Structures are given as structure tokens and as C-alpha cells.
Homo-oligomer: A and B are copies of this chain.
Amino acid sequence: MILYHSLRPHPVLGAGREVRMFLHEKGLAVPMTDVDMMTGENRQQAFLAKNPTGQLPALELDDGRVLAEGVAICELFEDLHPEPPLVGRSPEEKAQTRMWLRRCEFGITENIVNGFRFDEGKEFWKGRGRVLPEAADGLKAIARDKLRWLDGAMAGHEFIVGERFTLADVVLFVALEFAEMVGQPLDPELTRVAAWKARIGSRPSAAASLC
């Protein structure tokens, strides 16, 4: 297997950090190839031959097939290597993780990323998909609304789903570090989310996934 990712323009802002962090938590080492998003290397023929959408991260399997979408790639590693469980041990645990992951993604992380794409990132995104500058402020505001909701929901929770560290923690943490670097810092009033973010940030996988 080979994981294609991008460390540029910065490991926090590139593509694939959630997969790198997940792999570190699993204790798995997968060969990685850096594809430079900044120069559009992922939109050039060599990479498009592997993944016609040009998306990063992407995982080339041993048979040559290529899978995209970071969360789908993480779930693949969970299915191949169940221990330690980062989605869940039972079907009910897995469902609980996926529920929280979806709340984080549809409510928070996707709005952070699109808020950036349609605003500070819009020059970079030109020609890579439609940008909606008029939507940027509102999407960022929805992300803040949902983070405030999450802060309340986390009362008594050590991790997003409660007592277990999961893929939901990885995905939200990576997105909040991204947010901080692009002018969407976490509201310091959200003390539960801030404390949780510091806890996740102190795990060895947080530092290890920066390269």
C-alpha cells in the first residue's frame, strides 16, 4: 500500500493528516508519498492516472486500485486491523462513533473548510471547483454555532463519544488545528472543547502526524 498525501503548504493545512494520526494511533506504518497540492501536482497526469478526481489523501492498494476519502481510508484500516478499536468493538459502538463523526463533519469540519475555501482560500481554489464567497461568513458562523452546541454536549465526556477515544476525535482535532491556522480560532469560552482539544493535542499521534 501507498498513502498519497500532501504536507504542503504545511502539515496542518495539507491533506491526509487525519489518516496519518489514525495510523499512528493504530501502530501501523504505511509507505507515504507526498503529492504537492500547492503546485497542483495532484491535478497532473501522473497522479490523475492513479486517482481521476485528483483528490488527496488517496490510498493505493496492493492490487493497484486506489481509494479516496480520508474517513473511508481510516475505516478500511479499522476493518483490516481492529485493535485498538478507534471506530468501535461492537456494531453499537461503531454506530455511536459514526453518529458523532457525522455530527462533527456536517456541522463543523465541512463548514470550516468551505468557509476557508470560499474566502481566504478562494484564489487557490479557482479552477478547482465552484467558490461561493457570499456563503463564507455564514458557513463559518454555522461551524461556531455547532461547536457551541458540542461544548454543551461534552459535559462529562472525556472524548467526543464519551469514554472512548475514536476516529471522531481525530477528525475534529485535525479540523480545529486547521481552523486555527486559517483565522477561525476556537472561542475560548468553549472551555470543554478547549480542554478536550488540549488533551488530544498531547497525544503522541498529534505530533507524529505533523510529518
- Interface residue ranges, A against B (CB under 8 Å): 52-53, 61, 65, 67-69, 71-73, 75-76, 79-80, 91-92, 94-96, 98-99, 102-103, 106, 110, 129-130, 132, 134-135, 138-139, 141-142, 145, 153
Question: CB < 8 Å: which of B71, B91, B129, B142 contacts A98?
Answer: B71
Task: List the B side residues contacting A69 at CB < 8 Å.
Answer: 98-99, 102-103
A132/B130 contact (C-beta < 8 A), A65-B92, A71-B98 known: no
Question: CB < 8 Å: which of B65, B72, B95, B99 contacts A102?
Answer: B72
Is there an interface contact between A94 and B71, defined as CB atoms closer than 8 Å? no
Is there an interface contact between A138 and B132, defined as CB atoms closer than 8 Å? yes
- Given A52-B153, A79-B95, 8 further pairs, Cβ under 8 A: A67-B99, A76-B94, A79-B94, A110-B110, A129-B142, A130-B141, A132-B138, A135-B138
**Alpha-carbon separation in the docked complex, A204 to B53 (Å):** 33
Is there an interface contact between B99 and A106, defined as CB atoms closer than 8 Å? no
Is there an interface contact between B68 and A99, defined as CB atoms closer than 8 Å? yes
A80, A110, A135, most chain B CB atoms within 10 A: A135
A111–chain B nearest beta-carbon distance, Å: 10
Task: List the B side residues contacting A103 at CB < 8 Å.
Answer: 53, 68-69
A122–chain B nearest beta-carbon distance, Å: 12
**Alpha-carbon separation in the docked complex, A120 to B139 (Å):** 19
A43–chain B nearest beta-carbon distance, Å: 14
Top 4 nearest A-B pairs by Cβ distance?
A79-B91, A135-B135, A132-B138, A72-B98
Question: CB < 8 Å: which of B110, B134, B145 contacts A135?
Answer: B134
